[in-house]
């Protein structure tokens, strides 16, 4: 199949490309002019184009569009203008020009941060739960979702919208929790963290990519009926227990100092997904 991937140079993008290449799919991907694309013979048709500059010709003969582009993913900072351009305007624009280009299915990566305070109302958050974001990032992603949701209904398109929970793995920003924990463990340093009482669903980035590929190929998607999924493992764990597990696995020599730092204000304590419609069987 022919895929077009946006956000391909990002953390999840690298895993998505490897997954697509593994199954022999044809891939086009865009990159910004300030990115250094060194692999000229990696099996990917790289297009030097900002996401807002992608045109109908770029999307010609594409079967599936996978949109991983996001602005403001923690801990990266972004401006209001960039967040609106990437998370809202480019998301809807891709849907419209992709429709004209004849794309069969659109798979968009959302974030669990769109749920925000709603997380406190559920043991496991259903994909159709109300969106009540707490962050600048979550707010613009939620706004983008509402727009493309209505557009896909109006244009009768196949849309899968996947809200990703706590993805982690090599290549993640070094200031995220898992990379900092891993760096401390491997260097023999102590690691200070919060109370660790927060419950999360940590999912390896490679598995996220598998689910996104699965979403592009499942046969229960109906035109004009947006299909919402949460991407997680279904195995929630406290931040403290996750840290202990990784600390031991990595053979850390330093001290894991749980409770040395304060918890973030207004942080949901239970952020776990309902993954009942994720359809594991095709990827395991």
pLDDT tens digits, residue range 153-163? 999 999 999 99
Confidence of residue 281 (pLDDT cuts 50, 70, 90): low
Q: Give the pLDDT mean for 236-245.
A: 98
pLDDT, residue 32, reads 85
Does the pLDDT of residue 232 top 90, yes or no?
yes
Residue 33 has pLDDT above 90, yes or no: no
Looking at residues 168-189, what average pLDDT do you find? 97
Q: What is the average pLDDT across 23-45?
A: 80
- Parse the chain into domains and list their residue ranges: 2-168+203-234+273-282
CATH T-level fold of 2-168+203-234+273-282:
Rossmann fold (3.40.50)
Averaged pLDDT for residues 210-216? 97
The pLDDT of residue 283 is above 70:
no
Does residue 280 have a pLDDT over 80? no
Percent of the chain with pLDDT over 70: 95
For residue 181, CA distances in Å to 75, 81, 114, 233, 235 come to: 15, 33, 25, 21, 20
* pLDDT tens profile 250-275: 999 999 999 999 998 888 999 999 99
109-142: pLDDT as tens digits? 999 999 999 998 999 999 999 999 998 899 999 9
Give residue 103's pLDDT: 98
Tens digit of each residue's pLDDT (9 = 90 or more) over 36-90: 665 555 889 999 999 999 999 999 999 999 999 999 998 888 899 999 999 999 9
Position 284 pLDDT exceeds 90: no
> Tell me, what's the pLDDT at 36?
63
Q: Which residue has the tokens 């749980």?
A: 258
What was the pLDDT predicted at 34? 65
Q: What is the pLDDT of residue 40?
A: 56
Average confidence score pLDDT of the chain? 94
Is residue 201 over pLDDT 70? yes
pTM of the model: 0.94
pLDDT of residue 191: 98
């Amino acid at each position: 199949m022919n895929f077009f991937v946006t956000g391909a140079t990002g953390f999840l993008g690298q895993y998505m490309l490897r997954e697509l290449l593994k199954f022999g799919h044809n891939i086009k991907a865009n990159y910004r002019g300030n990115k250094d694309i060194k692999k000229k013979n990696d099996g990917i048709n790289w297009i030097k184009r900002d996401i807002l500059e992608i045109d109908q010709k770029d999307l010609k003969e594409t079967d599936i569009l996978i949109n991983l582009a996001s602005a403001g993913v923690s801990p990266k900072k972004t401006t209001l203008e960039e967040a609106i351009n990437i998370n809202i305007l480019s998301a809807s624009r891709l849907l419209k020009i992709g429709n004209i280009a004849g794309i069969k299915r659109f798979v968009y990566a959302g974030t669990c941060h769109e749920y925000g305070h709603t997380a406190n109302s559920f043991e496991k958050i259903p994909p159709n739960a109300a969106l009540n974001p707490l962050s600048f990032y979550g707010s613009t992603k939620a706004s983008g979702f509402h727009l493309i949701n209505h557009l896909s209904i109006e244009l009768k398109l196949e849309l899968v919208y996947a809200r990703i929970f706590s993805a982690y793995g090599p290549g993640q920003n070094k200031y995220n929790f898992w990379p900092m924990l891993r760096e401390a463990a491997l260097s023999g340093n102590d690691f200070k963290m919060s109370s660790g009482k927060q419950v999360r669903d940590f999912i390896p980035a490679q598995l996220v990519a598998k689910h996104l590929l699965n979403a592009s190929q499942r046969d229960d998607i109906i035109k004009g009926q947006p299909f919402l999924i949460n991407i997680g493992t279904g195995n929630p764990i406290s931040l403290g227990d996750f840290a202990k597990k990784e600390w031991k696995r990595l053979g850390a020599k330093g001290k894991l100092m749980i409770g040395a730092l304060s918890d973030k204000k207004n942080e949901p304590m239970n952020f776990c997904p309902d993954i009942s419609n994720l359809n594991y069987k095709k990827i395991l």
